[in-house]
Structure 1
Amino acid sequence: MSALEIQHLCKDFAATQVLKDVSLAIDSGEFLILVGPSGCGKSTLMNAIAGLEPVTSGSILIGGEEVTWQTPSERDIAMVFQSYALYPSMTVRGNIAFGLEMRKVPKAEREAAVERVADLLQISHLLDRKPSQLSGGQRQRVAMGRALAREPQIYLFDEPLSNLDAKLRVEMRTEIKKLHQRLGTTIVYVTHDQIEAMTLADRIAVMRDGQIQQLGTPNEIYNDPVNVFVAGFMGSPSMNFITAQLEEGDRAWQLRIAASEGGELLLPWPEERANQTLADQCGQKVLLGLRPEHFAEAGDQRTGHQQAVQVDTQVSVVEPTGADVLINILLGENEVTARVGPDCKAQPGERLMLSIDMRRAVLFDQQSGQRLA
C-alpha cells in the first residue's frame, strides 16, 4: 500500500487551472521531491496534500484512507514551513511540545518526545532558549523537531532551506539526508533548487504549468530526460541544445551542424542507439542535447574513451571553479558550455581540441521538444 496516493488532482483559482490532472503514488519510507520553476504548481500541490488548499477535483489517499476533504488536523501529517513558524514567546522546548500538547498527549510522553528529537537534531543544549536567541539553522532544526515529535505517516517540507545562506543550506541538506536514512520516514519535499532535489530525493517529480513532466530517480531525470524542459531544468550548468540535421551517413546516422563562415560540423550518432524513431526523422532538424561533462580535453585520460569524437573549438569564456573549469566554446554556430579538468590552461580566443562523448548525448524533436533517442 502506498503511503500517499494522488489521483487525477485538479485545482482551479477562478479561471486559472493551477493543477492539471496530477497523479502519483509514494511508497512508505520514500523521499519524494517536487521541483520546478516558480508558478509551476508544486506549492499548491503540497498545500492540497496538507489540507490547506481545497481541491477542485480528484482524490488524495494517505495510508489507503481517502482524506481529500478532511481538515489538516484530521490528516496524519506534519509540515515544516519555509518561514519556520515558531512561537516567539515559547522556548525551544515549548515549541517542540506544542503540537503534542494540543493533541492532549500526556506530559510524560511529551517530555520524552522532546528529549528524543532534541537529541536526534543535536539541539538539547538549546531547549530553554527562545527563537530570538537562535541562528537561522538552529531555528530550522527546531521547526523540524516540532514535526518529528509527532511521528505522523507523512512529513511535508515546503522549501525549508530557502531562507538560509549557501553554506548553511549545504549543511542542513546533509542533516536532512542523514535524518531520513536514520528514521526511514516518508517525506514529500518542495524546492526550486535542483541541487537539493538531486542530492536528497529517492524520486523526483519535475513540474511545469501544473503538470508532472517526469517522475523518476535522480539518475533517470538527469541522464534520461523525457523532454527539452526536464533536460534544461535539471543540471547546473544546464544542458546545451544544438540545432542539427539528422541524416544517413556511410555506416550509421550522423548529425550535420552548421558552422560559422559557411562551414559544417559532422557528428556521428552511435550505431547501437539508432532506432525507428530516428529513421522517421531522417532529413529533419533535431535538437542535440549535450551536458557540459560530455566534453573533455582531447587526451584527458580521466574522462576519455575510445569512441569519443574530437572537435576543434574556439574558447570564448573561461570560468575556473576549483574542482573543474567551465569554458564557453563555439560548436558550429552555437555557443555551448563544457566542463573540463582543473588543469585546463585554455584562454579566451584560443583554439582547444575537445572530445565529445556521443554515447551519452540525447536527441529531441525540434517542434514538440519530446525525446527521440
Structure 2
Amino acid sequence: MSALEIQKVRKDFGNERVLKDVSLAIESGEFLILVGPSGCGKSTLMNAIAGLEPVTAGEIRIADRDVTWLTPAERDIAMVFQSYALYPSMTVRQNISFGLEMRKVPRAEREAAVERVADLLQITALLDRKPAQLSGGQRQRVAMGRALAREPAVYLFDEPLSNLDAKLRVDMRTEIKKLHLRLGTTIVYVTHDQIEAMTLADRIAVMRDGHILQLGTPDEVYNDPVDIFVAGFMGSPSMNFIATTLEGQAGDYRLRIVTEGEDALVLPWPASRETPALAEQVGRSVILGLRPEHFSEEDSRLSGMDEGTPLSARVSVVEPTGADILLNMPLGDAEVTARVGPKCRVAPGERLSLRVDMGRAVLFDSETQKRLA
C-alpha cells in the first residue's frame, strides 16, 4: 500500500493551469523530492497534498484514504516550512508540544514526545529558550521537532534549508538524511536545489511547467535523463550540450563535430549504447550530452573506447576549486566544461589532450529534445 497517491491532479489559478494531470505514488518510508525551477508547480503540489490549496480536479490519497477534500488537520500530515513558523512568545518546549496540545494529547504523553524529539535532534539544552534566542539552524531543528513530535502518515518539507547559510545547509542536510535512515518516515520534500535532491532522495520527481518530466532514483535522473531539460537541470556544473551530425550505420555510428578553423572532430558512438531510434537520425543534427566528469586527462596507459576516446582542445578558462579543476574549452559550437584532477597543469590558451568517456555520453533529438540513446 502506498503512503501517498496522487492521481491526475490539476490546479488552476484563474485561466492559468499550474498543475497538469500530475500522478505519482510514494511508498511507505520513501524519501521523495520534488525538484524544478521556480514556477514549475512543485510548491503548489506540496500545498495541494497538505490541503492548503484545493485542487481543481484529481484525487489525493494518504494511507489509502481519500483526503482530497479534507482539511489539513484531517489529513494526518506534518509540515516543516521554509520560514520555520515558530511562535515567538513560546519556548522551544511549548512550540514542540503545541500541536499535540491542540489534539488533546494527555500531558504526560506530550512531555514524553518533547523529550524524545529533543534528544533525537540534540536540542534538549534549548527547550526553555524562545525562538529569538536561537540561531537559524537551531530554529530549523525546532521546526522539525514540532513535526516529529507527532507520528503522521506523511511528513512534508517545503524548502526547509533555503534560509540557512551554505555550511549550515550542508550540515542540516546530513542531519535530515540521518533522521530519515533512523526513523524510516515517509517524506515529501520540495527544493529548487538539485544537490539537496541528489543527496537526500530515494526518488526524485523533476518538474517543469506543471508536469513531472521524470520520476526516478538520483542515479536514473542524473545518468539516464529523459530529455535535455532534465539533463541540464541535474548536476553542477550542468551537462555540456554539443551539436553534432550522426554518420555511419548500425555497429559503426560516428558523431562529427565541426570546429572553427580546424579539422572536424569525429567521435565513435559505442555499439553497446545503440538504439533503434538512431537509424532515423543518420545525416541529421543531434545533440551530444557530456557531463564535466566524462572528461579526463590523457593518459598513455589508457586505450580503447571503454577507457576513453582521445580528443584535443584549447583551454579558454581555468577554474581551480580545490578538490578539482574546471576547464572551459570551445568544442564545436559550444563552450564545454571539463572536470579534471587538482594536479592538472594547464594555462588559458594552451591545448590539452583529454579522453572523453563515450560509454556514459547521451544523445538527444535536436528538435524534440528527447533522449535518443
Q: TM-score range by the shorter chain?
A: over 0.9
Deviations 1:240-296 (A, max 9, x none): 000000010696000011110263111100012222110111111000000000000
Aligned to 2:334: 334
Aligned to 1:150: 150
Gaps of 5+ in 2: none
2:290–2:362 contact (8 Å) kept in structure 1:
yes
1:5–1:61 contact (8 Å) kept in structure 2:
yes
For 1:174 and 1:128, the matched residues in 2 are separated by 26
In structure 2, do the counterparts of structure 1 residues 151 and 306 end up closer, same or farther at CA, with 3 Å as the change threshold? closer
Q: Percent identity?
A: 74
Aligned to 2:29: 29
Aligned to 2:139: 139
For 1:328 and 1:172, the matched residues in 2 are separated by 32
In structure 2, do the counterparts of structure 1 residues 230 and 54 end up closer, same or farther at CA, with 3 Å as the change threshold? same
Superposed, 1:17-166 pairs within 5 Å as 17-166=17-166
Aligned to 1:13: 13
SS at match of 1:260: coil
For 2:245 and 2:59, the matched residues in 1 are separated by 45
For 2:17 and 2:61, the matched residues in 1 are separated by 22
2:306–2:358 contact (8 Å) kept in structure 1:
no
1:296–1:304 contact (8 Å) kept in structure 2:
no
1:298–1:304 contact (8 Å) kept in structure 2:
no
Superposed, 1:233-272 pairs within 5 Å as 233-248=233-248, 252-261=252-261, 263-272=263-272
Aligned to 1:318: 318
Answering whether residue 192 of structure 2 is matched by residue 192 of structure 1, we say: yes
Aligned to 1:368: 368
2:33–2:197 contact (8 Å) kept in structure 1:
yes
Q: Which runs of 4+ in 1 moved over 6 A?
A: 300-305
In structure 2, do the counterparts of structure 1 residues 253 and 160 end up closer, same or farther at CA, with 3 Å as the change threshold? same
For 2:188 and 2:178, the matched residues in 1 are separated by 16
CA offset at residue 331 of structure 1?
Answer: 1.6
CA offset at residue 334 of structure 1?
Answer: 2.2
2:306–2:357 contact (8 Å) kept in structure 1:
no
Aligned to 2:218: 218
SS at match of 1:213: strand
Q: Which moved more, 1:349-358 or 1:326-335?
A: 326-335
For 1:274 and 1:68, the matched residues in 2 are separated by 45
Aligned to 2:172: 172
Aligned to 1:347: 347
What TM-score comes out, normalization by structure 1 length? 0.98
Aligned to 1:284: 284
CA offset at residue 74 of structure 1?
Answer: 0.4
Question: Given residue 12 of structure 1, which amino acid in structure 2 is its aligned partner?
Answer: D
SS at match of 1:261: coil
Gaps of 5+ in 1: none
For 1:356 and 1:333, the matched residues in 2 are separated by 17
For 1:223 and 1:210, the matched residues in 2 are separated by 23
What TM-score comes out, normalization by structure 2 length? 0.98
Question: Given residue 173 of structure 1, which amino acid in structure 2 is its aligned partner?
Answer: R
In structure 2, do the counterparts of structure 1 residues 357 and 158 end up closer, same or farther at CA, with 3 Å as the change threshold? same
In structure 2, do the counterparts of structure 1 residues 2 and 348 end up closer, same or farther at CA, with 3 Å as the change threshold? same
